[in-house]
A and B are shown apart, each in its own frame.
Chain A
């Protein structure tokens, strides 16, 4: 069973469309991060959210942390072909004294011109 469920797993859209990726869990997280990974490379950190209800914006990307800190979403406005990639959510569970991150299985986004 996956502790962090991402949906959808695959998403193919046209340039200019909007999209939302979801990251859900039944567990509470003290912090949650979103990463983007390109083929053959490591994940690149996009944002960290730590407070329930928090909303962060990064240009056309909007990240939200659920009030109960069990879920998060990534919304992209007016997608561009350069947004194509694998988007990963990762969280650190409450009570975890160590540093390990639990990853979702990822959302493969393809933006077509």
Chain B
């Protein structure tokens, strides 16, 4: 039973380039979440998606960041015109349920983005 898959594991981009991070949820999971972990900071929520729907994007920066979870294929977190401050570990998590009291999320290994 494969866990949450993320690729690439490491990504280096120059300032101004685009970064695309991919996440395949666990089998049977239809809900995906993206979190960012900045150096010396905790994990911060970015966005919550179901297939073809953005449910909660309250943690997404207003500009340059977008996310999608198409009917077919992985979820994509896209960062346009990257800046040095975007350097961080980006984690994807998935769950089988919508909000329930016994709600659980399972995390992937993360993508480490470095902007030079």
CA distance A42 to B3 in the complex (A): 11
Q: Which of B13-21, B67-75, B94-102 contacts A (4 or more CB under 8 A)?
A: B94-102
Would you call B42 and A105 a contact (CB within 8 A)? yes
- Chain A, interface size category, equals 20 to 34
Interface size, chain B (Cβ < 8 Å): 31
Would you call B42 and A99 a contact (CB within 8 A)? no
A and B contact pairs by CB, cutoff 8 A, 6 listed: A31-B101, A31-B102, A42-B4, A45-B104, A50-B102, A99-B31
Chain A residues within CB distance 8 Å of chain B: 2, 30-31, 33, 35, 40-45, 48, 50, 88, 90, 92, 96-106
Question: What 10 A-B pairs are tightest by C-beta distance, nearest first?
Answer: A98-B56, A42-B107, A100-B45, A103-B43, A105-B42, A103-B42, A43-B107, A42-B109, A99-B48, A50-B101
